[in-house]
Structures are given as C-alpha cells and as structure tokens.
Amino acid sequence: MANKTPHKVALQDKFALFSDQWAPRLAARYNGNEVRLAKVEGEFHWHHHPDTDELFFVIEGDLEMEFRDRTEHMTAGDLIVVPRGVEHRPCARAGEVKLLIMDADGTPNTGDEETAFKPIEV
C-alpha cells in the first residue's frame, strides 16, 4: 500500500477475499490511519482503546454496539464513533455483518496488543 498512485477500493471485492469472523483486513491507509474491513457474527468481548477513537460503519447487516449504559442499534449505512477510553462491545446477533472500521495505525482490535488480531492486507 505504499503506492503513491491513487486507486479505488471495491469493498465487495475485498469482502469476497475472506470469510473468517472478527479478523479485520486492511483495505487502505491514510494520514496514519487504517481502513479495516471485517465480517462479524455473534458477540465480541468488552474492550476499550485508551489512546484513540474508533469508527464503525455498517456496510451490510444489523449491528448492536453495546456500551455499559445503553445499546445503539445500527443497520447498513449507519456509523458510530466510539471515543477513546469508552468501553464497548460490538454484537451481530442477527447474522453476519460487514463492517468498515477506521483506527489509528496499529490499534489492537481487542484493546490489548497481546490478544489482538493483526490486520491482514487484502
């Protein structure tokens, strides 16, 4: 992705390249950020990111973003920014969800470097 010539990213083509759940793929980088794609189903674990905000954009499916005090129900076309330090748990209880997630470079998806899945470039 070090290429300096801009190229479009066809999200559906990128999603077609993988099937595993909760394992983000790196689709692009910009200004010290990573654009990640993920397929999710079921519940993730509670976690937070102490040093950076995190953006979730639902491409397909229904997502529940749980916070300690409430739940945000999201469908295709919805996005949410989770501020740094806020505990959250993404849940896809109604089937698979396709997400675009934006994080600062190297942000562990689990909030913990030791348990994080390292994004694979697609």
Cβ(72)–Cβ(20) under 8 Å? no
Instruction: Give me 18's structure tokens.
Output: 């993988």
**pLDDT of 119:** 73
**How big is the CA angle at 89 (ends 45 and 41), to the nearest 5 degrees?**
75
Superfamily of domain 45-122: Jelly Rolls (2.60.120.10)
Question: Helix, strand, or coil here: 15?
Answer: helix
Alpha-carbon distance of 61 to 42, in angstroms, equals 12
Give average pLDDT by consecutive 10-residue segment, the chain, 122 residues.
81 96 94 96 94 96 98 98 97 98 84 70 82
Model confidence, pTM: 0.90
Contacting residues for 86 by C-beta, under 8 A, at least 6 apart? 48, 67
**pLDDT of 49:** 92
Report how far apart, in Å, the C-alpha atoms of 122 and of each of 50, 60, 80 are: 27, 19, 24
